[in-house]
Chain A
Amino acid sequence: MYDKGKVITGIVLFVIVFTFPFWINVGKANIAPEPKINPEVAGKVCVEDKAFMKANHMQLLDEWRDSVVRDGNRTYMGGTGRYEMSLTNSCMGCHNNKAQFCDSCHNYVSLTPNCWNCHIESKENTNG
């Protein structure tokens, strides 16, 4: 092999740089946040059960989005009743604490959903 030294040094450097995020964070794992439910709505049921919502809320919102915008269907038969398919009105109507309910988890996994570029957070925050 030509330039053995250079090649091996290069590989070692690459491995170090590539794995940098892992070993710099060893032993520093943050505890996953628990999304907080607004106390006023504690005990109420969501459009689907908690486990389903936890795993699928993003797909559900995507389906709602297409259904409302493209098909003109605006209501949803959930496991517990009929709901308006609306992020602002239905979801945020109960979960009106975006910071504790949405952002805490999304920030933890460093995710920035585009929803809020257009949809307005909640009635409380925008009365000005």
Chain B
Amino acid sequence: MDSARRNFLKIAGLAAAGLTLKPAGNALGMGVIVPEPEGAAGFDNALSAKRWAMVVDTRKFTAQARKAAVAACNKAHNVPDIKNSKHAIKWLWEANFKNAFPEMAGPHVPPQVEREPMLVLCNHCDSPPCVRVCPTKATFKRADGIVVMDFHRCIGCRYCMAACPYGSRSFNYVDPRQHLGQTNVDFPTRTKGVVEKCNFCAERLARGQKPACVEACRNNELIFGDLADPNSSVNQALRQNFTLVRKPELGTQPQVYYII
């Protein structure tokens, strides 16, 4: 491949480190930007942040909202519905309080908290053990804090699954396409033999959309925003409420906060 173009891609990657290429292209004098072809619009309205985070307001959640959020996620990411629980793929799912917060469970948890499941997902840790152990950098933390998977690079060693203290990672023990009903063409499926997990909808953020689960929750049950922005909705929620994160004692610094 033409090396100038190669270098350009590399430089743009460094310079933009974010979600749009336009300023970098201009700065490098890469010629006139012609109008975008149809269908590729929306990359300049990408949502960006210094540190993405999520607040789960368990008080507001209804069973219906939880189901809607999980369904939206599964649909957006072609998450297969595998009946054999040993091979299940989970990005966003329901867990009871005693399972999400096993250290805090006990006989005197209010019945409401004990009964109502809550949503759990990848915590997009600030100090992610999965990233630390991955031998190929197939999983890595982006500048905006999102911990993502490069499915192309994953060798399927499952070290990250041993390292994750939240059980947020799934492995494709079988070909997931056998277990997919309708597929969403805008997102790939996975191949057997790779690990996967929630990606905070990085592909939607790039298009200016909030994560699918956040969008599916109509009453602000899920709040998503930039922790570095003091006025963001997540910061407001964190200021006004006492929140928990899962297993803070492990030093992973989870960025999904729970209002109980």
Which residues of A, 71-86, contact B by the 8 Å Cβ criterion? 71-77, 80-84, 86
The answer to whether A67 and B19 have CB atoms under 8 Å apart is no
Q: Which residues of A contact B34 (CB under 8 A)?
A: 80-82
Segment among B2-10, B115-123, B232-240 that sits at the interface with chain A:
B2-10
Q: How far is the CB of A125 from chain B (nearest CB, A)?
A: 9
A sample of 11 cross-chain residue pairs with beta-carbon separation below 8 angstroms, ordered by A number, consists of A67-B12, A70-B13, A70-B140, A71-B13, A71-B17, A72-B16, A75-B40, A75-B43, A80-B34, A90-B40, A118-B190
Q: Which residues of B contact A63 (CB under 8 A)?
A: 1, 6, 9
Binding site for A on B (CB under 8 A): 1-2, 6, 8-9, 12-14, 16-22, 25, 30-31, 33-37, 39-40, 43, 46, 140, 142, 148, 150-152, 182-183, 185-186, 188-191, 202, 206
The answer to whether B19 and A89 have CB atoms under 8 Å apart is no
- Identity of the chain A residue whose Cβ is nearest the Cβ of B192 in the assembled complex: A117
Q: Which residues of A contact B140 (CB under 8 A)?
A: 70
Q: Contact partner of A120 among B1, B152, B183, CB < 8 A?
A: B183
The answer to whether A60 and B1 have CB atoms under 8 Å apart is yes
Q: A71-B13, A88-B188 are in contact. List 8 more A-B contacts (CB 8 A).
A: A76-B9, A80-B34, A81-B36, A82-B33, A83-B36, A117-B191, A120-B188, A126-B183
The answer to whether B43 and A74 have CB atoms under 8 Å apart is yes
Nearest 10 Cβ contacts at the A-B interface: A84-B40, A71-B13, A117-B191, A118-B188, A81-B34, A59-B1, A75-B21, A119-B188, A120-B185, A56-B1
- Listed residue (B1, B12, B46) with the most chain A CB atoms within 10 angstroms of its CB: B1
Let me know if A98 is at the binding interface, CB within 8 A: no
A81-B35 contact given A72-B202, A89-B40, A120-B183, CB 8 Å threshold: yes
Which residues of A, 45-61, contact B by the 8 Å Cβ criterion? 52, 56, 59-60
The answer to whether A77 and B142 have CB atoms under 8 Å apart is no
Q: Which residues of B contact A72 (CB under 8 A)?
A: 16-19, 142, 202, 206
Q: How far is the CB of B38 from chain A (nearest CB, A)?
A: 9
The distance in angstroms between the C-alpha atoms of A51 and B19, with both chains bound, is 30
The distance in angstroms between the C-alpha atoms of A67 and B140, with both chains bound, is 14
The answer to whether B40 and A65 have CB atoms under 8 Å apart is no
Which residues of A, 99-124, contact B by the 8 Å Cβ criterion? 114, 117-120, 122-123
The distance in angstroms between the C-alpha atoms of A118 and B34, with both chains bound, is 31
Q: Contact partner of B189 among A118, A122, A128, CB < 8 A?
A: A118
